[in-house]
Amino acid sequence: MSEASKAIVHLNITERIATIVMDDGKSNVVSLQMLRQLNEALDQAEQANAVVVLTGRDDLFCAGFDLKVLKHGVLDAFNMLIGGFKLSRRLLAFPTPVIIACSGHAMAMGSFLLLSGDYRIGADGDYKIAANEVAIGLTMPYSAIVICRQRLKPGHFDRAVLMSEVHNPQSAVDAGFLDRVVNKDALMDQALELAGDYAQSLDAKAHRNSKRRMRRKLLRQLSLAIWADRFNFVWQGVRRLPG
């Protein structure tokens, strides 16, 4: 099996619950391969009208974008960055409830995925959660700013975006990255129990229509931000070409 065809996203759909696990065996980076497989899994979850539980591997939810691609591949970097923010928008607009089971560290794009779920449960432990773009020398994308602003508490928003403030799971609840924290060993049980409750108790059509109504303005802002990032990433790519 080639590296490109290796399964790094695993899907299980049972009783209207779609469990999606990211596990690339390394840092769980948002690569083109990860994006493709995540979207394929979400396609199947949507077809099944299933509540989504998105999680990562033990001790690591997602370490962000693949930095090797950012540094060396102009076209691939563009597609990866835009694809990541489109994935966040898809999660925010997903027709069924999306539960994020944060299994460990969530950095950069990993933190934006957290902020794109309807309910976020974090595993307790010595884990870092941060939008650390500024700390690693990257200007915060327009799309990331929109995603952070819609969920983080005002006082924490500035510090998260401008100062790359790092949180542990408990302080991440105060900031707005997570809704609650549970014992690591209970994370998936709690997430699946919540998903089961939602699948049984919520009217699917009312949930879908209410989400569209509630997030209409946000989704419009995010679409415009993605377009702004497209132009900005293209300009940055042109500047990197040999002259």
pLDDT tens-digit map of 175-226 = 999 999 999 999 999 999 999 999 999 999 999 999 999 999 999 999 999 9
Residue 237 has what pLDDT?
Answer: 54
Query: What is the rounded CA–CA span in Å between residue 75 and residue 83?
Result: 12
Confidence of residue 243 (pLDDT cuts 50, 70, 90): very low
Q: Bridge-partner residues for 100, per DSSP?
A: 54, 120
Residue 68 has what pLDDT?
Answer: 87
* Domains, in order of start, for the chain: 3-186 (3.90.226.10)
Residue 203 has what pLDDT?
Answer: 97
pLDDT at residue 1 above 80? no
Is the Cβ–Cβ distance between 50 and 13 less than 8 Å?
A: yes
Chain Cα centroid distance, residue 94:
13
pTM: 0.94
Pairing state between β 104-107 and 64-65: unpaired
Overall average pLDDT of the 139-164 stretch: 97
Paired tokens of 145? 């700013």
Is the Cβ–Cβ distance between 226 and 85 less than 8 Å?
A: yes
Q: Looking at 2-11, 41-50, 159-168, 205-214, which range is the least confident one?
A: 2-11
Chain Cα centroid distance, residue 155:
22
Confidence of residue 5 (pLDDT cuts 50, 70, 90): confident
Q: What is the dihedral of CA 104, 105, 111, 113, to 10 degrees?
A: -40
Confidence of residue 67 (pLDDT cuts 50, 70, 90): confident
User: Residue 225 contacts by C-beta under 8 Å, 6 or more apart in sequence?
Assistant: 85, 141, 142, 143, 145, 146
